[in-house]
Structure 1
Amino acid sequence: MKASSKRLLVIFCMDRRLLFARYKSVLLSLGERTTVLCLCGECTRLKSVTSGSASSVYSTRARSLSPISSQPGMCDTAQVANESWRLNHVTGDLFSCPADEALAHCISEDCRMGAGIAVMFKHKFKGLEELKGQKKLVGQCAVLKRGERFVYYLITKKKVSQKPNYDNLRQSLEDMRAHCIQNGVTRISMPRIGCGLDRLKWERVSEILEEVFEPADMSVTVYSLPVKAETLVMKENISR
């Protein structure tokens, strides 16, 4: 008698109830030789719905698969968190991020960092002559190595008095991504780049971040100041 072959069911539910409901009858009819793979990376309900009929259940958005926890309401994503794409948002001090995490912010081609968070980068990491010596152009990315981390300077405009556009921002992010991949960087922290004094819209910037970094399975954490503190900083810089 010929043995039945193993089957793989791939779904993408993203915890959307209507979409998930479409799979319910299929999941309940699965045999013991079926593996379920959910691509959303957050799914916690497959285990209970399959009622043990599937031989294994997985959830992943990373390079390797991580079995879903069988405990109701628990999701085992810790194993893949560092390798999968995530856009995290944190309210607080950017420089409080882990010391081995790369940092990034935007500057002009003339490397004048006289306002906003660029001033803090200049004082904290120095290296102005080293940055100028790299002779990076608009759409490229200058880099400093400080301790265990890389510090990225996204060149998004020609002169400090100008405003960047979305194409230049994207190109500089792509240049940074190439350096990250080459040097094994998987985690980057940054402010809301281009959205302070440069006046870009965060909705579009966040879309660009996803388009650039999701294929590379990199984690990006965006730090924002509390609203009152951010308003105060903006007023101080505008008045200069």
Structure 2
Amino acid sequence: MKKINYLKGDATNPQTEGNKIITHICNDIGGWGKGFVMAISKRWKQPEAEYREWFKSGESFSLGEIQIIKVEEETWVCNMIGQHRTITSSKGISPIRYEAVEKCLEKLAFDALKLNAEVHMPRIGCGLAGGKWEEIEPIIVKTLLRHDVSVYVYDFE
């Protein structure tokens, strides 16, 4: 089975040839404006516009759903709804929803295979969503890697 490739650098600027999908986690309340999405918006306008459109339409806009937007010749961005709201609850529950992330990555695996694409990402869910990488990593193994999709995780320097 493949392993996760860890790289230093910017996940919005993938360091490989061929088809690639840059994936990241979005919330389920239509908010876009903090964290990794800012780097995406700086590079391409479509992912934010399509996310906002999707939220407005309400069509299958819920935890565990994904949206894939072509932004360049060999590059797509995948908006994954894996975060409930944007703040930690009074009970100390972080916005991340691991089951939703798993559903998203399972769907993404099939799209990646159809597009013959590799998947690139920051350490998804570990910033504003409040998730832990030791929870996310096994989910990536169970979904993307199990389907033989190459995965690149970027640590921004």
Q: TM-score, normalised by structure 1?
A: 0.54
Superposed counterparts of 1:180-199, under 5 Å:
180-185=112-117, 187-199=118-130
Shift of 1:221: 0.5
Q: Secondary structure at the match of 1:173?
A: helix
Question: Distance between the aligned counterparts of 1:117 and 1:179, measured in 2?
Answer: 22
Once the two structures are superposed, residues 68-126 of structure 1 have per-residue CA deviations (whole angstroms, 9 ceiling, x without a partner) of xxxxxxxxxxxxxxxxx230111222233146422111111333221111111123221
Greater C-alpha radius of gyration: 1
Once the two structures are superposed, residues 22-71 of structure 1 have per-residue CA deviations (whole angstroms, 9 ceiling, x without a partner) of xxxxxxxxxxxxxxxxxxxxxxxxxxxxxxxxxxxxxxx5xxxxxxxxxx
Q: Secondary structure at the match of 1:193?
A: coil
User: Is structure 2 residue 19 aligned with structure 1 residue 94?
Assistant: no
Question: Distance between the aligned counterparts of 2:71 and 2:82, measured in 1?
Answer: 22
Match of 1:157 among 83, 108, 122: 83
Q: Secondary structure at the match of 1:154?
A: strand
Partner of 2:91: none
Q: Secondary structure at the match of 1:86?
A: coil
Match of 1:120 among 31, 34, 39: 39
Superposed counterparts of 1:51-66, under 5 Å:
none
Shift of 1:222: 0.3
Amino acid at match of 2:4: L
Partner of 1:216: 147
Distance 1:132 1:171, change over 3 A: same
Gaps of 5+ in 2: 89-94
Partner of 2:98: 166
**Aligned 8 A contact 2:83 2:129 in 1:** no
Q: Secondary structure at the match of 1:142?
A: strand
Partner of 1:146: 71
Q: TM-score, normalised by structure 2?
A: 0.80
Partner of 2:51: 131
Match of 1:204 among 110, 114, 135: 135
Question: Distance between the aligned counterparts of 1:224 and 1:201, measured in 2?
Answer: 15
Percent of residue pairs bearing the same amino acid type: 23
Shift of 1:143: 1.2
Number of residue equivalences: 142
Shift of 1:214: 2.1
Question: Distance between the aligned counterparts of 1:157 and 1:149, measured in 2?
Answer: 24
Match of 2:22 among 100, 103, 108: 103
**Aligned 8 A contact 1:192 1:202 in 2:** yes
| Runs of 4+, deviation exceeding 6 Å | none
Once the two structures are superposed, residues 183-203 of structure 1 have per-residue CA deviations (whole angstroms, 9 ceiling, x without a partner) of 322x11100000112121111
Question: Distance between the aligned counterparts of 2:107 and 2:3, measured in 1?
Answer: 19
Match of 1:178 among 96, 99, 110: 110
Q: Secondary structure at the match of 2:106?
A: helix
